[in-house]
Amino acid sequence: MNFSKKNHKLKNVNILGVSKTIKVLALIFAFGISSVASATTIPKKEKVKKEEPTIEKTIGNLLKNPTFKLDYNINTTVEIIVNNDNEIVVLDVEGYNKDLETFVKNRLNYKKLSFNFKDKNKTFKLPLKMLAN
């Protein structure tokens, strides 16, 4: 038997007897199916992380909308402690603005936190910036 290319009738047949054209078509079909399948998969719902409350956010919310007029921006520090009852206690408001000190103490003193604060009976100094209105 002479298997030279001239006399070989099955030019596109490999060892397994499957033509190269069929292999190429099968490969194209497989890629097409996989791209369609990946495009139509329903993405998993991402878990929306609920923001954990912090003392800074809580104090920021409590100090919104001041009841007095500010003619200029004020940068100060508020010294607080959280007692065993999970309440904020204002120890000091640095600065010379009596209205600001009264406002901060009225809004913060003995306000219960909505979450269990771990560092109770520990003094904290928090920066406070009040913008002119």
pLDDT value of position 10: 53
**Span 78-99, pLDDT tens digits:** 999 999 999 999 999 998 788 8
3-state SS record for the chain = CCCCCCCCCCCCECCCCCEHHHHHHHHHHHHHHHHHHHHHCCCCCCCCCCCCCCHHHHHHHHCCCCCCCCCCCEEEEEEEEECCCCEEEEEEECCCCHHHHHHHHHHHCCEECCCCCCCCCCEEEEEEEECCC
pTM: 0.60
pLDDT exceeds cutoff 60 at 15 = no
pLDDT band at 36 (very low <50, low <70, confident <90, very high): low
24-33, 105-114, 116-125: range with lowest mean pLDDT: 24-33
pLDDT exceeds cutoff 70 at 61 = yes
pLDDT value of position 59: 92
